[in-house]
Chains A and B, each alone.
Chain A
Amino acid sequence: MTPVLEQKDASQPQADPPSATSLQDRAVIRDALGVGVAVGLSGFAFGVTAVGAGLSLPQTCALSLFVFTGASQFALVGALAAGGSPLTAAAGAFFLGVRNTFYGLRLATLLRLPRLVRPLAAHMVIDETAAVTLAQESRRSARLGFTVTGVTIFTLWNLTTLLGAMGADALGDTERWGLDAAGPAVFLALLAPMLRTAVARATAALAVVVGLGLLPVLPGGVPVLLAALAAPVVLTVQGLAFARRSRKGGGEPVQEQAAEGTPRKGPEGEEHR
């Protein structure tokens, strides 16, 4: 993708230098496409996994078309394969999907979408579009990032799901190819740029402990939701510590501001390049 864009530049060497906006647009598109292509890899893994778990090809493709949120899809397929009842399996997948509500809350203020566009845009509210969109500093970039990421992922995710489902038999064991590492690697890459502040790092650490600790004892999907409680817990602890420091007379509003985090500033986009 990049070489094509650069070629275009070279063909008009004497033209005005590209405006800041178009440079920024280009960076946003590059990030968005990078994320979209990367997610394509795990779409393939999903297709293979779902068919391996006993789903038919139409069922596998229906999941990617209509559920379109990777973690929930993997969770549903895993639960069905483990012999869970349809509704228990669906409940676990739904719990995982609830985090998209939180992404939506944040995206709504950034994107300010017209009411009519919302039902269509809602389908694209997932981890990856949220990560790309929240990293943007202007509404224009946010809308561009959201749209390009959403459309790229939707297209590639469904295409690679189909390919994976068709190729499952030929490929055999997905784990042999390391494809089961693609999903968590996508999550890790999305998470990394968010870990700028001490508060964010403490939240992540607590969430990991809770998520892993409860995994063997609670039904699928529930531990992740409980791990989300790390956010209010860390904020409460931070609030208490701050209040105590203020009472001692050493209150520094600057510090709270830093903790509150303007984590979207800085060379955020570079994380994806």
Chain B
Amino acid sequence: MSVWIAIAATAIGCYAAKLLGLSVPEGLLERPVVKRLVTLLPVALLAALTAQQTFSTGGALVLDAKALGLSAAAVALLLRAPFLIVIAVAVLVTAGVRALGQA
């Protein structure tokens, strides 16, 4: 039951957050400062999320196969690989490094 409460609370909260963004009056964005800020916020959030999900497991910092997988993905991005290839490279390299580590 408590899991369902968590799911409902998250669903309502996340939907409200999404709808709020679309519904805020436009005038608020006319100022250049706000505009620049709103352009940069996703950069900060995505960078932090990428780093955290790459270098942590369950709230602790770790350096494991994922780091190599993501490095390979970064190289693929520099080589202008398609989106799907970038993800596949990350997954395959990570799995490969783990397989080698256990062999």
Contact = CB atoms under 8 A, between A and B. Distances in A.
A103 B21 contact: yes
Given A184-B50, A184-B66, A187-B49, A203 B91 contact: no
A62 B21 CA distance: 23
B52 A76 contact: no
A55 interface: yes
B40 A181 contact: no
A176 interface: yes
Interface stretch (A7-15, A16-24, A30-38): A30-38
B77 A188 contact: yes
Given A188-B74, A223-B52, A38 B87 contact: yes
A26 interface: no
A240 interface: no
Contact of A235 (B33, B51, B84): B33
B3 interface: yes
Nearest to B20: A101
Interface residues of B, number: 74
A122 B22 contact: yes
Contacts of A224: 45, 48-49, 52
Interface in A45-100: 55, 59, 62-63, 66-69, 71-74, 76, 78, 80, 82, 85-87, 89-90, 93-94, 96-100
Interface string B5-33: 11101110111011111111010110011
Contact of A82 (B33, B55, B58, B94): B58
Interface string B27-43: 01100110011111111
Contacts of A72: 10, 14
Contacts of B6: 76, 80, 86-87, 89-90, 93
Interface of A: 31, 34-35, 37-38, 41-42, 55, 59, 62-63, 66-69, 71-74, 76, 78, 80, 82, 85-87, 89-90, 93-94, 96-109, 113, 118-119, 121-123, 125-127, 130-131, 175-192, 194-195, 199-200, 203-208, 210-212, 215-216, 220, 223-224, 227-232, 234-235, 260-261, 263, 270-273
30 contacts: A55-B3, A63-B7, A69-B18, A89-B6, A94-B9, A97-B10, A102-B42, A102-B45, A103-B42, A104-B19, A122-B21, A130-B42, A176-B95, A181-B69, A181-B70, A185-B73, A185-B91, A188-B90, A191-B50, A203-B43, A208-B51, A212-B61, A223-B52, A224-B45, A224-B48, A228-B41, A231-B41, A261-B39, A263-B39, A273-B82
